Structure 1
């Protein structure tokens, strides 16, 4: 099941845009990727795009535990929908922690 679309390419830089009749347009349209949820076994949901693994959700006795692609736990949730939203939100805004994350935010 496909539930989301995200631009696979960052916004164009100023040098990659052209001005035509006073309007700024991108040189080429951005490609997109679709997030798909797979359920390989009962109680496990895996989020992926054609080019990347995004995270997973594991059903536990307490609810659903969402994990990011790098293994971080995104939290425990009462519903599957809330856990999917956490993985989806992490896809758009991944947390950058530690020294390397700080260096990436500065760039």
Structure 2
């Protein structure tokens, strides 16, 4: 049988440590942690969001909401920022932006 309980994991992102406590699955016979992609991915994203918050990075949600507000595509945003469409797509899927690109995108979002 499997049971669920809170488990604490520490993630290191670019030299910064983030501790996340969240539900995890365990084997009731051995009490060993059972890997679960959905739960593990959620924990990882929680740590990544903490890093974004600490570093003041634009989030994938910020970019998507900004584009939706303006009614523009990733390609159009890329053209208006001189970034590649692939770069915008990567940032919207969770890749951390470079310092210069983050500054540019935050400025656009904050100053319409």
TM-score tier after normalising by the smaller chain length: under 0.3
Higher relative contact order (CA 8 A, sep 6+): 2
Q: Larger strand proportion, structure 1 or 2?
A: 1
* TM-score using structure 2 length: 0.23
Normalised to the residue count of structure 1, the TM-score between the two structures is 0.24
